[in-house]
Structures are given as structure tokens and as C-alpha cells.
Amino acid sequence: MRMQLHQLMDACLFAVSFWLAYELRASPWFTEVFHRPIIDPFEKTFDTLLWYWVVLIPISPLILEAQGFYDRPLIAPRRHTLWALLKGCFFISLGLTLALFFAKLIIARSVPIWFGLISFALVYLKEEILRFVIMSKVGQSQYRRRFVLVGTSQETARLRAELRARSDTGLEILSELDLNATPVDQFVQLLHDQAVNGVILSSRHTLFDRAEAVVNACELEGVEVWLVADFFRTQISRTSLDDFYGHPVLVFRSAPESSWQGMSKQVFDFTGALVMMLVAAIPMAILALIIKFTSPGPVFFRQARSGLNGSPFTIYKFRTMVTNAEQIKHELEAMNEMRGPVFKITKDPRITPIGRWLRKFSVDELPQLFNVLCGEMSLVGPRPLPVDEIRRISDLAHRRRLSVKPGLTCLWQVSGRNQILDFKDWVRLDLEYIDNWSLWLDFKILLRTIPAVFSGSGAK
């Protein structure tokens, strides 16, 4: 609830910032001081820019959330607040500029710049005011909440140590109770005597009937119970709570969860692939003719690859090898330079002269934009491997790279792929991408892909 309130306030501040930026640019003072031409008053263009308010209010907080702005404690170090807010304001201003450009709305070029500066100042001012209020005596009395730790002695000691390391939680631990040794009626009396706001219950090694008794007692008293639901010792899975037809369920997930970022990624994939296909339509047609007239065989290469969770799909590439490349592959197995199930050769004799150029600059991957449009691939994600290579994976942990959609480019491709000779290193980079995935990471990988392609550090 607290995050939703912050997002609503920030959305309103961004909307006000845009209005202030336009008013500032249209003011006589601005045109006189900065020697800029006079623009129409804001009221004359309000109707044409009203759509931006409709988009701005829900989008701005989501972009801040993607930068981790709302993941901070209430009293976070100022540098964390400043950096996350700076990135968020930059991307929102950039999005505004692109939106105005593609919508062909005529507006002063300085408005998006002033919008970014004003929104940064207003949101940061809000954060400083909240910090001041929370740190005040009145804020401390209202903000701090009184809790009791309940569980085994080992569990409560562990929780207390974690809470002590995070002094900004706003929780005051009144006492610790051993659930196995404390009767329920004594626990209820403690709730009365200490005026407890809530109970943190850890029941990893406790009988569930005793935990249920505590929950029932707090339910009657109207006291919150926070159940620490770390019943199982997982290594990489992230735990979340969900609802399954009215039943609360714990979800253990080691891949990115479905969220607004995931939906935004799908929209971005489709839009980006469509735009790229339209831009590259004529060059792709020319390349198709060159392939057709320089070597016998089809223009496109089709192969079964493993997609999301291993589901097979047909990948499309410009053909860069002779037509019987798959048939003679077994004759070249001894030349394989990759350790693991993947087959890679630096000077593959099956590659045609034009194919070598296509591979050097990764142009042969362009038809995979069609796979992205079909939802089988993403612009960024682990590279899809042939189905037969996936079947030869011996380490089951390596199959987690199949937990997300495969992509046109990935962290492996922009991290010196020609120097990676062990499949384990390839998988390590893919899993690093999965564990740290965000829209911002996708954006950075796409930016790093551009120089990698033009430098010719293409596939082997």
C-alpha cells in the first residue's frame, strides 16, 4: 500500500512538472532571458497534449520502479535515491521526446529538458520532506511499530540479527517467545500488556498446529501476523505469495516472474521487431537475391531450436552454409572447439563465401525478427540451441537457461563470444542475465550489441 501511495504522488508530480516546464518555456521572462522565440500559451495546445497526461500518470511510476526507486527502505542513503531518480527521470524525458517526435507534435525542444529537471527536483523534494517527517519525534512515534518475534530460539535470534543489521526498518522488537515453550494464553497476555502492533512468526522448525494457534489468537485480537514462510532451504529460487482460487500459495521461482516489466518486454519486442523489419526490408531482399545467385540452394535456413522451457520451434536465418551442411556435420565432430554439447568451428568448411561475411556481421540473424513477431523469441535473451544439442546437456542446472524466451542477442554475445570456448561459461553468462533481468539490462545489452555487430565480432 505504501508503494502505491508513493507511485500516485510521483505520477501527479510528473504531470505537474510537464505543465510547469511548458509554462516556463512560454513565459515572457524565459524568452527574454534566454533569447528564445515566443511560443503559444499553454492553453492553446492543451487539447493536443492532453493524451500525454493520460499516459504519463501510469507510466512514470513504472519506469521509476524499473530503476529500483521503490525498492529502497524509507530512510535509504541519499546516493541511492539520487541515482535511481536520475535514471528514471532521464528515461521518462527520453520517452517524452520520442513520443512527441513520432506523434509529430510541434513543441519547443527545451520543454522535455526542463520537464526532466523539474520532475527530478520535485520528486527529490518530496523524498526529503518525507525523510524529515519520519526522522522527527512525531514521525518516529507514528512510524515505529512494536512487534514480537515468535518461533524457536534459533529462529528468533536469526531474525533479530537481521533486523538489527537494518536499523531503517521502523520496527521495535519488544520481546522474543519460544513457540514450543510458551503457552498460548501467556502469549495472549503479552499482547495485552505490551500493546503489540504485530507478530513476526517463524515456523520453519515448529509444529504447524502451534503456529496455527498463534495465528488464531492474533486473529481474535486484531493483531497482524507476518509469517516468515521460508520453510524450505532453496538456493536461487525467489519466493512470492499468490492466490490460487482463494487459496494462498507460496511460489518458488528461479526465473523472472510475470509482471508489468514482462508485459512491457513483450510489447517492446513486437514493436521493435516490426520497426526493424520495415527498416531492413529492402536490404534483406537484396541479401536474399545475392544468396540465391551466389550459391545453389534455398535462401533461408530452417532448423528446430529449443524455445521457452524447451518447447521446439522453427528458427529462420539467411543460409550461410552449403545445402548438405547438416549431413556432413558428423565428419567434422573432431574439429569442434567448444567444450560441451555445442558445435562450433572457427573456419567451418561448410560456410559459403557470402555466408562468411553474413556471419561476421551477424546479418544472417535478421530473419529471426519474424520469430520475434511470432512470440517465439525475444530481442534479448539466451541464444536458442538446436534441439539435438539440448538433449545432450548432462548438467540439469544448465537447462535453466530455457526458463526464458531465447533472444536475438544476449549477454554472451556482447561479452567476447569468440573467446568463450566452454559451454559452462556460456551458461554462466545466460544465468547471470536471467538472475539479474530487468528492462534496463535489456536496453544496455541492445546498446552493446550495436558496436559488437559493426566491429565484426560475429559468430564463428
Average pLDDT along the chain: 79
* Residue 320 near residue 355, CB atoms below 8 Å: yes
- pLDDT-derived band of residue 342, with 50, 70 and 90 as boundaries? confident
Residues contacting 14, CB < 8 A, separation 6+: 56, 57, 60, 92, 119, 123
* Model pLDDT, residue 143: 59
pLDDT surpassing 50 at residue 206: yes
Greatest mean pLDDT among 11-15, 133-137, 193-197, 322-326 lies in 11-15
* Percent residues over pLDDT 70 in the chain: 77
Q: What is the pLDDT of residues 90-111, one digit of tens each?
A: 888 887 777 767 666 666 677 7
Q: What is the pLDDT of residues 346-358, one digit of tens each?
A: 777 788 888 888 8
* Model pLDDT, residue 309: 83
Over residues 206-233, the mean pLDDT reads 78
- pLDDT-derived band of residue 448, with 50, 70 and 90 as boundaries? confident
pLDDT surpassing 50 at residue 178: yes
- pLDDT-derived band of residue 122, with 50, 70 and 90 as boundaries? very high
**Which domains are delineated in the chain?**
2-137 (no CATH), 144-231 (3.40.50.10700), 260-454 (no CATH)
Closest CA to 369 of 281, 434, 290, 455: 281
Q: What is the pLDDT of residues 141-162, one digit of tens each?
A: 555 677 888 887 778 888 888 7
pLDDT surpassing 90 at residue 397: no
Position with higher pLDDT, 189 vs 32: 189
Position with higher pLDDT, 211 vs 282: 282
Q: From residue 199, how far is each of 186, 196, 242, 448 by CA, in Å?
A: 14, 8, 21, 48
- pLDDT-derived band of residue 251, with 50, 70 and 90 as boundaries? confident
Over residues 225-235, the mean pLDDT reads 74
* Model pLDDT, residue 379: 94
Query: What's phi and psi for 175, nearest 5 deg?
Result: -165, 170
- pLDDT-derived band of residue 81, with 50, 70 and 90 as boundaries? confident
* Model pLDDT, residue 314: 94
Q: Rounded to whole angstroms, how far apart are CA atoms 14 and 62?
A: 12
Q: What is the pLDDT of residues 41-67, one digit of tens each?
A: 444 455 556 666 666 667 888 888 878
* Model pLDDT, residue 243: 65
- pLDDT-derived band of residue 366, with 50, 70 and 90 as boundaries? very high
- pLDDT-derived band of residue 249, with 50, 70 and 90 as boundaries? confident
- pLDDT-derived band of residue 125, with 50, 70 and 90 as boundaries? very high
- pLDDT-derived band of residue 220, with 50, 70 and 90 as boundaries? confident
* Model pLDDT, residue 44: 45
pLDDT surpassing 50 at residue 315: yes
pLDDT surpassing 60 at residue 459: no
